[in-house]
Amino acid sequence: MFSDDFNPSPFKRSPFRRLMAKWFSWQDRALRGLTGLGSRITRPFFRLQHKLISEPLQKWQLSAEESRNRNAKPSLIRRVLHAFHYRMWRVSEWMNEHPTYFRWLTTPARWLARIPGRIGMVLGTGFEGLEKRLENSRWLFWLGYLLAGVRHLAASAYEFSSAWYFSRDFRLLLGAIPALLLFCPLAYCMVRVSFQSPVATASRYRKAAMEAREAKRFDEAQLCLRKVQQLGMFAESSQYDMAVTAAAQGKMADAIDTMQSLVDEYEYYPARLWLVQKLLSGDVIKDPEDAFSAAQAHLDAVLRIDSRDLGARYLQANLWARSGKAAEAVLVLTEISREYPPANVLLATIQRRQGQGRDAQERLKMAL
């Protein structure tokens, strides 16, 4: 392994060489620790074997010898115990003569003890290969030389943290337990406030409103959306949701007025798309030409903001199909059909009108 005096390069005692010497000395300590770990694993098993077998047999052997040395005639119980001790002594002698028969007592321990040794062998082989590569890598030497300042900073931080850790009397930290207990309510309040913020509350009310509208509980949906407005969060989106709910209740005039106010005040483009849908269906303006021109104005405003909006492009193609521009509509619908499945239905309708029945059926299969 490297040492401070080992200097195969012309640069004497470089910081990189000292760093590598420390690294490989740490490797030696790690491998020695892994080797000793095996003996520490097997030691309790051998102690257990000694306690359970060897010590009792030695005691029985000594008691049998003492009973034989006495001249007094032993009692029946003592003779029985003596015979039992003698048999156990013979068993112990046989076990000492054939120790390999009882290796199963320590087999699990030996299996566990082999694991650190195997790991040490693999690490040792890897470290040897790494050492050879580092010896032949000049660019690593220069990298270590240039990063000496960073290494010194890291070493200083490590030495300070180690000195601080080993110089602490952790029993004194018990005095900090009251402070920690006093801090727990503050931490709980901080976590609780994060879940009870106006944004989180408004999000829950908005989610409840969506669920109520899907279940056709419109009064409950309106109540939840008004709570969102009172909190001052999601102003535009909450008004939009209230207008959609009003339209579902049959209050189309109120819904249109709300959407138009969103367009005029906030330029809220989802409201523009909703108005385009209603203009194309004839719910807002009965005259088709006026409805189509108003819808085109809304679509132009939306596409100026985001020319790749799939919903706006689909409505644009629908408007072109209604206005007699089927070729332009087919081009747009073909382009967005993979990302926007409803476009396949409209495209199939246009193809059926043009007499392309087989292509229309294929498009409907893609939509389904």
The residue behind tokens 């200083």 is 156
**Chain segment 281-301, per-residue pLDDT in tens:** 887 778 888 888 888 888 888
Confirm if 85 and 66 have CB atoms less than 8 A apart: no
**Chain segment 207-228, per-residue pLDDT in tens:** 888 788 788 787 887 788 777 7
- Mean pLDDT of the chain, nearest integer: 72
Residue 9, pLDDT score:
47
**Chain segment 242-280, per-residue pLDDT in tens:** 888 888 888 888 888 888 888 887 777 788 888 888 888
Assign 199 a pLDDT band (cuts: 50, 70, 90): confident
How long, in residues, is the chain?
A: 368
Q: How much is the average pLDDT of 75-103?
A: 59
Confirm if 284 and 256 have CB atoms less than 8 A apart: yes
Assign 2 a pLDDT band (cuts: 50, 70, 90): very low
Distance of alpha carbon 154 from alpha carbon 27, whole angstroms: 19
Ordered DSSP codes for 112-160: HHHHHHHHHHHHHHHHHHHHHHHHT-HHHHHHHHHTHHHHHHHHHHHHH
Residue 174, pLDDT score:
73
Distance of alpha carbon 112 from alpha carbon 119, whole angstroms: 12
Q: How much is the average pLDDT of 351-368?
A: 76
Distance of alpha carbon 368 from alpha carbon 363, whole angstroms: 9
Distance of alpha carbon 105 from alpha carbon 11, whole angstroms: 57
The predicted model scores a pTM of: 0.44
Confirm if 332 and 313 have CB atoms less than 8 A apart: yes
Residue 20 reports pLDDT greater than 70: no
- CA angle 90/95/98 to nearest 5° reads 125
- C-alpha distances (whole Å) from 194 to each of 189, 198, 205 are 9, 9, 16
Confirm if 259 and 275 have CB atoms less than 8 A apart: yes
Residue 11 reports pLDDT greater than 50: no
Q: Which of 256, 210, 254, 252 is nearest to 234 (CA)?
A: 210
Helices 218-231 and 235-248: crossing angle in degrees, nearest 10, is 160
Quote the distance between the C-alpha of residue 77 and its chain's center: 71
> Structure tokens of 130?
């790494």
DSSP state of 53: I
- C-alpha distances (whole Å) from 162 to each of 27, 156, 179 are 19, 10, 25
- Give me the domains of the chain, ranges plus CATH numbers: 15-144 (no CATH), 196-266 (1.25.40), 287-368 (1.25.40.10)
Residue 62, pLDDT score:
54
Q: How much is the average pLDDT of 3-30?
A: 58
Ordered DSSP codes for 79-125: HHHHHHHHHHHHHHHHHHH-GGGGGGGSHHHHHHHHHHHHHHHHHHH
> Structure tokens of 84?
């039992």
Distance of alpha carbon 193 from alpha carbon 226, whole angstroms: 23
Q: Is 230 left (phi over 0), alpha (psi -120 to 50) or beta?
A: alpha
DSSP state of 5: T
Distance of alpha carbon 225 from alpha carbon 245, whole angstroms: 10
Higher model confidence: residue 361 or residue 93? 361
Element containing residue 46 per DSSP (H, E): helix 15-49
**Chain segment 295-340, per-residue pLDDT in tens:** 888 888 888 878 888 888 888 888 888 888 888 888 888 888 888 8
Assign 6 a pLDDT band (cuts: 50, 70, 90): very low
- C-alpha distances (whole Å) from 280 to each of 241, 290, 316 are 21, 10, 10
**Chain segment 126-157, per-residue pLDDT in tens:** 666 666 666 556 666 666 667 667 767 777 88
